Chains A and B, each alone.
Chain A
Amino acid sequence: MKLLPTEQSVSWQRYAHRVLEGQDTGTSLAYVDFLYAASLSGAGKFSQLAKLDVLRPSLTITPEAASLRKLTRALISDARVRTAKSVLQLWPQVAERISSSSAHRLAAALPADTVAVAVTRSAKEVAELDAMPEWERATKLKGPLEGFTSSTRTMDLYMRTADTLQLLRVDRQSGKAKLLVGTEAAKSFQAHCRAQIRKYSHPGFRLANVLRAKGGYRILMADRSVRLTMSEAARLALGQRLPPDHALSRILIEDPSFVVYSHPLMAREGRYRADADQIAFDVQRSYPEVRVFKDDLSDRTAGRAETVSQFLIGNPEDVVILKADDSFHVDDANILKDITDDLKSSGIQVEEITPHAAVAAVGRSRLVIVLSGHIDAKLAEFVRQAGEAGYFRNNIVAFNSCASALTSQLVHEMNTRYGAVATWRYDGKIPAAKVQEILLKLHDEIDQKPTLDDWKRYVHEEGLSGVWNICLLRDVEKRKEAAIG
């Protein structure tokens, strides 16, 4: 194995300069050795390392375990490293010994085809992800880790670096990992999405996967695909319907329930989720008679969508508005205090959640309304406390909060961690005045036994849009739900 520069006459100092200037990229193994030597020296800056001619005799040393961490740090700190694959192939110990966070940072800094090696040590981590509840897993997807799916045979970890999708597929039985890169990974992902949509398609519910395509979007369904140009998407964003003969218009007339698929790569905030959310919100805005859902598809999708579609507020007591105790410092722009008397006068329940609220004997099949004027950690604390107290379980939740990553996470938790049937989520910012107006409309019409289509109408009348989110309960949540009974 050749570990020296090809030009023997090049001094280490000059060589180091060339490497640091990015002129020498061909002598990668020598550079690796240089980095290794440099890391052994304990010096922190390459400008100083360039003078370390004296280290040349140490180049043939096999790295000791103790120094691997230093090498890793050197690799991470140098974004121009192009030889990490070689490093990791030469010294697999690197991949095994670095910490999880270092692995992610390294993976983010390295060329695409080396990532899987960097996370090989994370085969164990993949198994940990598999065992986690859905809501918790979403919080773990960071750095290059984009999404996760699992089946009875495999666990699939999706990653992305340098705009290339990678799929690390771990076989459950053998524990062996296989890396699919680029087109291969993309094809596998698309096949997974197609299979999910075909599997869970249900009469009356149009399941659709929204993908950004050249010049617009592609909406993939079980039996067809619809192309949406950017100008058509812009039209939807303005709340304007597409022509009646447009494929999407025809589909929405045929199937008034439109379920946008939350595929595995939407588990974390990113362009996939943003694209799908936008199309879902805009379709709902432009076709108010259509019921738009977002879901990651399961055998419960149809049932939950049906529950939302048929939900009727038979009595004012079927509506509960959760009020945060002052100690949560949740900012709701004083809406609730201003209109509580009005709401109570029509029989709507307003219940206060305290920081130590015990598990309450909360009714089932109710519309639970949560308000917020500002999305922050205090709101999250309040929502989680209400969830722990059982307010969301088997109820439908209208979450009146502006769109944000935390909102998405809380909606996800309300559905998966706390067992809500579905949760209403808004598009964009929602002014307090409009939320107040929506609640007062509900109060005004409560005697007419409004449905959730009426709720949607109130929202649209205020110029806002939102969709119902349903989320899959994975095995972990199902077990927890069964235990709670």
Chain B
Amino acid sequence: MWRSGRRQLLVDLELHAVTPALEHTIAAKDFGAPAIETGKFTVAIADKPIALAVAALSQRLGREIPAEVDLYQRFAVWLVPNRVSIIRRSGSAEVTSVGVECEYVNGEKTCSVVSLLPAPQFIVWGEAHGGFRCQGDLSFAGETLPVGGQLGAVNFREAGIGFGISSSAKLSAYFSLNVITPYVAAVGIGASRAEWRFDRHKEALFGRDVETWATIVLPKRQKALGMRMRVYLTLRTAFFSTRHESPWQSIECMLGG
């Protein structure tokens, strides 16, 4: 209803949902074709990822990339996200592990994974709220290193990762992201293929997006990166475990962040 001046003007407004998907229950949401459909669980691979440029992140932190970082003369370093959503539709089965396999498809062009997030060496236990955190130093060349002690303030957040100025290293910024389990395995550095595996700790591995990142060196002017992703789940019902695996799914990551 709308009131204007002395006269009362009544207008009926039809309200439309800004994001129609939010108006539905999670179980009724349309995530596109699921990667895995067990009847009890639906797993979907995020098919519109956008990568973050490490150079742009450093610029936002007010740090110019030093000239001695030769890498940037020919290449760019990107933080490429790989996300998987896992929903339980029915039943009481538990997800005991989730695996994410990624193959970065760049033809004959340069494509090399420099580091992986999260990775076991960056997991920090004992957060105040009982959770876990993946944090460390991110160099401008895309390499990650564990950092000891307390971190400074997060300057800004981008796609779920907090970035701040590192006090321990001149050439790097630190990153910080939440993880649902401390039991993480990550492999693939130096290759064009990476794999993560998350094993359940306390919190459920479903009902959320499982997020992984790879820092990848690519040719300077590249605009997009082709990827193939595959997910597997290990479900446990009572004492029985079953493994479910998705087919490879091709997606394209925009290099524009």
Contacts and interface: CB of A to CB of B under 8 A. Distances in A.
Contact of B73 (A337, A338, A342, A433): A433
A436 B110 CA distance: 13
B109 A337 contact: yes
Interface string A392-436: 000000000000000000000000000000000000000111101
B219 interface: yes
Nearest to B107: A337
B108 interface: yes
B70 A433 contact: yes
A431, A432, A433 — which one has the most chain B CB atoms within 10 A of its CB?
A433
Contact of B219 (A339, A431, A434, A437): A339
- Of the four ranges (under 10, 10 to 19, 20 to 34, 35 or more), the interface on chain B belongs to 10 to 19
Interface in B199-228: 219-221
A440 interface: yes
A334 interface: yes
A338 B70 contact: no
B110 A437 contact: no
B73 A440 contact: no
A436 B74 contact: yes
Contacts of B70: 433
Interface string A256-293: 00000000000000000000000000000000000000
A437 to B, nearest CB: 7
Contact of A334 (B73, B110, B220): B110
A339 B219 CA distance: 8
A337 to B, nearest CB: 4
B221 A339 contact: yes
Interface string A337-352: 1110110000000000
B73, B74, B107, B108 — which one has the most chain A CB atoms within 10 A of its CB?
B74
Contacts of B74: 335, 338, 432-433, 436
Nearest to A440: B221
Contacts of A440: 220-221
B221 A431 contact: no
Interface string A310-340: 0000000000000000000000001101110
Contacts of A431: 73
A439 to B, nearest CB: 11
A207 to B, nearest CB: 38
Contact of B109 (A338, A432, A436, A437): A338
13 contacts: A337-B107, A337-B108, A338-B74, A338-B219, A338-B220, A341-B109, A431-B73, A433-B70, A433-B73, A433-B74, A436-B74, A436-B220, A440-B221
| 4 closest Cβ pairs, A-B complex | A433-B73, A338-B219, A337-B108, A433-B74
